Amino acid sequence: MGGIYLQGMITMEAVIVIDMIYDFVYGKFGGEGAQKIIDNLKTFLNEAENNDIPIIFVEDSHTKKDPELDVWGEHAMEGSKGSERVRGLKDIDGVEIKKGTFDAFYDTELESILKSKGIDKVILTGVSTDICVQNTAAGALYRGYEITVLKDCTAAISEDKHNDALQYMEEIFGARITNSKTIINELKK
């Protein structure tokens, strides 16, 4: 399993890829920002894979009972094309977890998977920076994980929302905000 050496200790990290699914990239809530991060994300995930860093895809997969549908309407419905991982990332190996809320930790097996692998640091990627990524960062903070968010591997509906969410996670959650090239360079040391 991969690790980054920091000040005399090895921290064990995992990459969490949030909602890189059809409805959030090309479909109902998709957009140019989400589409633009695919290449950066694929490059980063390939590097993570080469360094034995676990990759976990956490993807919306809703049932008619999910309260989120009252706010956003039907999207990423279980078994639909909208809930499938986008084509550009389908060939990346990783654990796949289905979720029904904004927070990837809530009512999923994410925490138990991380604990079983001895993970103490999460690298968050995906969409939407201001909704599911930010709520997952909150979930990680509450559980004691060190948080890194890759600004070039996350996106929101607008650049302003993206930047505001990054600033919020840095100031309120103590998240490290960086880019994929910085992390790739750290892995090579």
Q: For the chain, what is the domain count?
A: 1
pLDDT of the residue at 73: 80
- In terms of Cα–Cα distance, which of 24, 29, 95 is closest to 58? 95
Q: What CATH number should be reported for the domain holding residue 76? A: 3.40.50.850
pLDDT of the residue at 62: 82
- Which residues lie closer than 8 Å to 158 by C-beta, 6 or more apart? 33
pLDDT of the residue at 187: 83
Relative to beta strand 121-127, strand 146-155 is parallel
CB-count burial class (<10 Å; 0-12, 13-18, 19+) for 179: middle
Where in the sequence is the domain holding 28, given as residue range(s)?
3-187
pLDDT of the residue at 8: 41
Q: How far is CA 126 from the centre of its chain?
A: 5
pLDDT under 50 in the chain at which residues? 1, 4-9
Can you name the residues that pair with 77 across neighbouring β-strands? 62
CA distance 177 to 151: 7
pLDDT of the residue at 11: 61
DSSP secondary-structure letter at 85? B
pLDDT of the residue at 6: 41
CB-count burial class (<10 Å; 0-12, 13-18, 19+) for 170: middle
